[in-house]
Structures are given as C-alpha cells and as structure tokens.
Amino acid sequence: NAGVTQTPKFRILKIGQSMTLQCTQDMNHNYMYWYRQDPGMGLKLIYYSVGAGITDKGEVPNGYNVSRSTTEDFPLRLELAAPSQTSVYFCASSYSSRTGYSNQPQHFGDGTRLSIL
Amino acid sequence: GEDVEQSLFLSVREGDSSVINCTYTDSSSTYLYWYKQEPGAGLQLLTYIFSNMDMKQDQRLTVLLNKKDKHLSLRIADTQTGDSAIYFCAESQWDNYGQNFVFGPGTRLSVLP
C-alpha cells in the first residue's frame, strides 16, 4: 500500500517564488491535514480538510492556500515564498466517522523539505 | 484549551529501559497515541491506547495511562540504538465535526552505546 505520498521530497525556492506541495492518499480517508515542523520543534497544523470541497484553517495558515477537489488529493500552495516558510512539511490523513468512536489514527507522508533562500 | 506536554530530551544506555512521559489536558480524549519519527522521515504510528484502558503491552513497548492525572507514558524495554528517534505523544477527541488530534512537541531519545 502506498499510503500517503508527498512530492517533491526536497525543494529550494527563491524568495517570492511560488510552488505547490503535492499530497495524495489511497486509503479513502476523508480527513487530510498539512503540518509544518521547524527544526527541533513539534508539529504545527497549517490547514485541514474534512472531505472533498471542504477546507479549514489550522494554527498557522498565513502564507498558504489549500484545495480539496478530490478525496485523494490535498495540495498545499505557497504563493510568495518567504524565508520563514523554510521547514519540513508533512501531509497526513485519517478516517473519521460520526457513527462511532473507533480508533482512527493519522497516517503521515515522508515529508517535503523546503528551503527558501 | 487543549495542550500536550512532553520533556524534550532523554538519554539512555543501550540495553536499559527508556520511559517517555506525556501529560495532556483534555479529559474527553478517547485515544492516545505514540508516534516515532526517525531522522529524515515522517511520523510512524507506534502504538495507541483507548482511554478506558490503563495499560497496553506490545513486545518491548508498554503504554501506561493514568486518566485521573492525565498522564501517559511509553516504556521501551532493552533499548537499542535503532530506537534513537523523536517520540510524539498525541491525543484525539471527538467533536461535532469528527476526530481532532493534538500533538506534543516530541521527546528526542538518544541511545548511547
């Protein structure tokens, strides 16, 4: 099983450039998430989505945009890259059902390491 | 508000037991998780415990939950160099919109030969 796949794995951008980080999952999960992890720090939630066509802001959404046109894909866009966005970005997915409280952990991709110079 | 706390660093000698601690604030948490992050990799689900349990054992891993004190611990028996990683504690709660996750800052475990 592929699970959660993120591309690219590494990228260097110049200040002011834009790019899209790709994330796709093949587990038919309804929830998807984007986190950033700064060196030596924990995870900060950027955006999340509870299903196709629905997205919402997390803790640190400024400078980012997302879309969720399909269940599988949840791309993260940086419009005007800034040095403060140098980080490792993780995409995750989970299945949440309102019909019960079953165990539904998050599954993570391997991350995209982004440097902005 | 929701908050998950962990000590940031732990060093142990190879062969000793490691105990990584975590405290959380939301008493309505239903599941608590331990994730492992190896250098340059993503987070890998290690184990989890349901909130109505107080202990779960899985080979070298033992999870203890003290719901009254909102304290979770992960014990790794016979710690090996391959256990060196960052360990994240996470809690999840259910609300009207579904399952909500909160992660701790991670504990960096260093295993010394």
Over chain A, what is the mean pLDDT? 91
**Interface-testing mutation among A97, A108, A114, with chain B (most B C-beta atoms within 10 A):** A108
Tell me how far apart the alpha carbons of residues B54 and B66 are, in angstroms, rounded to a whole number: 6
**Could you tell me if A92 lies within 8 Å of chain B, comparing CB atoms?**
yes
Determine the straight-line distance between the first and last CA of chain A, rounded to whole angstroms: 36
Determine the straight-line distance between the first and last CA of chain B, rounded to whole angstroms: 41
> How confident is the model over B59-93, as pLDDT tens digits?
999 999 999 999 999 999 999 999 999 999 998 87
Residues 6+ away with beta carbon under 8 Å from A19: A11, A13, A77, A78, A81
ω into residue A39 within 30 of 0, thus cis? no
Residue numbers in chain A where pLDDT is lower than 70 = 1, 98-103
The two three-digit tokens of residue B23, written as one number: 């405290």
> How confident is the model over B15-67, as pLDDT tens digits?
999 999 999 987 777 789 999 999 888 899 999 998 888 999 999 999 999 99
Q: Which residues of A touch B43 (CB under 8 A)?
A: 43, 90, 92, 106, 108
β-strands B107-112, B9-13 pairing? parallel
Which amino acid appears at position B110 of this protein?
S
Answer yes or no: is pLDDT of B98 > 70. Answer: no
